[in-house]
Amino acid sequence: MTPYWDEEEPEEDAAGTMVRPYTITHGRTAPERDDFSLITVLTTAGEPLDEHGVPLRAGRLQPEHRMILDRCRRPAAVAEVAAGLDLPVSVTKILLADLVGQGLLLARAPLTVARASGGADMGLLAAVRDGLRRL
């Protein structure tokens, strides 16, 4: 019989993650603001750059923050940013909130389409229909 101390411990981070996700957020598990949805669209704000093209206020930013700012030069939804960073949505939202809070990132909330509040308007639906027809 195998003595218990010979039993192998499951290796941590076997999937190859080098940094535990909440280390990136300094242990924070909730964003500063809680109004991000999966399809909130983010756009990097125009920001002052120094002579090397580095954002002037980037001193306190982590690599992930910079990756987000780079990614969102073309508008991207929260879900897309998370997929691109390979981070869970909840961790991504914390980082996004940091950047929105500093004015480096602009957030656009999804359109209101709930049936209870009148549903999507006809103009929106017609635009979607026209777009789909081009597929």
Partner 1 sequence: MTTSQTAPAAVKILVAGGFGVGKTTLVGAVSEVAPLRTEEYLTKASVGVDDLAGIGQKDTTTVALDFGRITVSPELVVYLFGTPGQERFWFMWNDLVNGALGGVVIADTRRLDTSFASIDFFESRDIPFVVAINCFHGHNTRTAEEIRAALDLDPHVPLLIGDVRLRPFGRDVLLALVDHLMSLPAAAG
In angstroms, give the least distance from the CB of 17 to partner 1.
12
What is the arrangement of strands in the sheet containing 76-77, beginning at the earlier edge strand? Answer: 76-77, 41-44, 105-108
**Residue (3 or 48) nearer to partner 1, CB:** 48
DSSP-based three-state secondary structure for 92: helix
Tokens of 51: 């002579």
**Residue (6 or 51) nearer to partner 1, CB:** 51
In angstroms, give the least distance from the CB of 58 to partner 1.
15
In angstroms, give the least distance from the CB of 102 to partner 1.
14
Write down the residue that tokens 């001193």 correspond to: 59
**Residue (1 or 73) nearer to partner 1, CB:** 73
In angstroms, give the least distance from the CB of 78 to partner 1.
9
**Residue (61 or 94) nearer to partner 1, CB:** 94
Cα Rg of the chain, angstroms: 20
In angstroms, give the least distance from the CB of 8 to partner 1.
19
Q: What angle do CA 48, 79, 63 make, to 5 degrees?
A: 45
Q: For the chain, what percentages of helix, strand and coil (3-state, to nearest 5) are there? A: 40, 10, 50
**Residue (61 or 82) nearer to partner 1, CB:** 82
Q: What angle do CA 29, 35, 41 make, to 5 degrees?
A: 105
Give the DSSP letter of residue 118: T
- Residues engaged in binding partner 1 (CB under 8 A): 21, 29, 37-47, 73-75, 77, 79-80, 82-83, 88-91, 106, 108, 110-120, 122, 124-133, 135
